[in-house]
Amino acid sequence: DAKTTQPPSMDCAEGRAANLPCNHSTISGNEYVYWYRQIHSQGPQYIIHGLKNNETNEMASLIITEDRKSSTLILPHATLRDTAVYYCIVRVNFGNEKLTFGTGTRLTIIP
């Protein structure tokens, strides 16, 4: 079973910041928070991951609360191409560890 809870859907205006929440209240000390997204009929795309510090890369920022029970993925300037299902996954930081996908958040960017 997925160890995360995400809202099923969200809308965001094009050009605005999209903030996607994720709850992971049972996260273990050695588990990281990973974010992937899946554009329709494509394989999932890795976005970002983190342990406890906030992380930023060219795609997004990840904000993890101090107690690590929740996090927020931020797409700073959403475009229509960001319309996708976004998955928040917790797992140990090891490439060969399997991923368990929940239902994710369907983000729709509105023109």
Partner 1 sequence: GAVVSQHPSWVICKSGTSVKIECRSLDFQATTMFWYRQFPKQSLMLMATSNEGSKATYEQGVEKDKFLINHASLTLSTLTVTSAHPEDSSFYICSAGYTDTQYFGPGTRLTVL
Dihedral angle sign, alpha carbons of residues 82, 38, 20, 104: positive
Q: What is the DSSP letter of 108?
A: E
Give 36's contacts (C-beta < 8 A, 6+ positions apart).
44, 45, 46, 47, 86, 87, 89, 99
Determine, following the binding rule CB under 8 A, whether residue 87 of this chain makes contact with partner 1.
yes
Q: For the CB of residue 16, give the shortest distance to partner 1 in the complex, in Å.
A: 27
Determine, following the binding rule CB under 8 A, whether residue 103 of this chain makes contact with partner 1.
yes
Q: For the CB of residue 97, give the shortest distance to partner 1 in the complex, in Å.
A: 8
SS (H, E, C) 51-86: CCCCEECCCCEEEECCCCCEEEEEECCCCHHHCEEE
Query: Identity (one letter) of the amino acid at 11?
Result: D
Q: Which is nearer to partner 1, 40 or 111 (CB)?
A: 40
Determine, following the binding rule CB under 8 A, whether residue 100 of this chain makes contact with partner 1.
yes
Residues 21-80 that bind partner 1 (CB under 8 A): 32, 34, 36, 38, 41-46, 49
Count of residues that interact with partner 1, criterion CB under 8 A: 24
Interacting residue ranges for partner 1, rule: CB under 8 A: 32, 34, 36, 38, 41-46, 49, 87, 93-104
